Amino acid sequence: MPANPFASDIAARLYAEGRPDYSQLVADITRKITGIESPVELAVDIGSGTGISTMAIAARAETVVGIEPSQAMRERAMPADNVSYRRGSAEQQPVEDQSCDLLSVGSALHWFDQERFLAEASRVAKPEAWLVVYDHWFTGRMQDHDGFGQWARDVYLSTYPSPPRDRSWRPPDDLGDWRHMGWESYDQPVPFSADQLATYLLTQSNLQTVIERGDKTEKQLRSWLMHELAPFFADDPVAVFMFGGFVACHRRAA
């Protein structure tokens, strides 16, 4: 699998500043599909980053552990009374055997060794535990401006292509020991100023890879983005951009 493009201090700072919060959307859908009303004993969020995905399950468990390999991400993770963050990976989780009632993965499964992750998830999960996988992405669409989508494809991604990752999994699939129980997609409109959109785009793996390699600095990329984005904000300092996502819920056999 590719190296983690989000491990640096720069990535963690930009991620904390620039990523839209989708946690309430995911929390509502998770509750609807799983039917979990009373908090379970232990939930684990794998690839927790700065904690957006962890907050999505914070109300579903008495104790929540976010597992994240990057110290920089853990240091900037969102706090909550019942949440702690630990160093670890999807393939090697610092969690006891058959201890978890709920596991979640938010916008990270495509970076995992999925076979090893599923084996590890089966190790730590109790019988009838839930595995909730959610993703959240930028659609490249701007409300009331079709030209932005063309720019996103033909300029932005053409100049800075996305690094390889495993996109083979799709939400309806069963996952080894885990049986698919339901899924739901969602749309999220997000208002951005030009500077806020530039900060968000700087969190994406394509630009983080460029910064990590030393090809361009954060300042150089932001300057390029602000120049490119200026025409789309000529009539209004704030515009609405569309994000999408899904929540897929799986359950382990008794």
Q: What is the mean pLDDT of the chain?
A: 94
**Burial degree of 144 (CB within 10 A; 0-12, 13-18, 19+):** exposed
Determine whether 236 is exposed, middle or buried from the number of CB atoms within 10 Å of its CB (0-12, 13-18, 19+).
Answer: exposed
Rounded CA-CA distance 24/86 in Å is 23
Confidence check: pLDDT of 80 > 50: yes
Contacts of residue 106, Cβ cutoff 8 Å, sequence gap at least 6 = 26, 45, 47, 48, 49, 52, 53, 56, 133, 134, 135, 136
Q: How far apart are the first and last CA of the chain?
A: 32
pLDDT, position 166 = 65
- Say if CB 117 and CB 91 are below 8 A apart: yes
Can you give the pLDDT at residue 247?
A: 96
Please give the Cα distance from 105 to 83 (Å, whole number).
15
What percent of the chain is modeled with pLDDT above 90?
86
Provide the whole-model pTM: 0.91
155 vs 227: CA distance, rounded Å: 12
Region 224-240 average pLDDT: 97
State what percent of residues in the chain have pLDDT above 70: 96
User: Residue 1 above 60 pLDDT?
Assistant: no
Residue 189 has pLDDT above 90, yes or no: yes
Computed over its alpha carbons, how large is the radius of gyration of the chain?
18
Instruction: Please give the structure tokens belonging to residue 28.
Output: 């509502």
The domains of the chain, with CATH numbers, are 9-252 (3.40.50.150)
Residue 196's Cα: distance from chain center in Å? 18
* Residue 111 confidence (pLDDT) above 90: no
Which letter, b or e, does each residue of 194-204 get, where b requires 16 or more Cβ atoms within 10 Å of its Cβ? bebbbbbbbbb
Per-residue pLDDT tens digits for 27-66: 999 999 999 999 999 999 999 999 999 999 999 999 999 9
Give a three-class secondary structure readout of 38-53.
CCEEEEEEECCCCCHH
The span from the CA of 67 to the CA of 48, in Å, is: 6
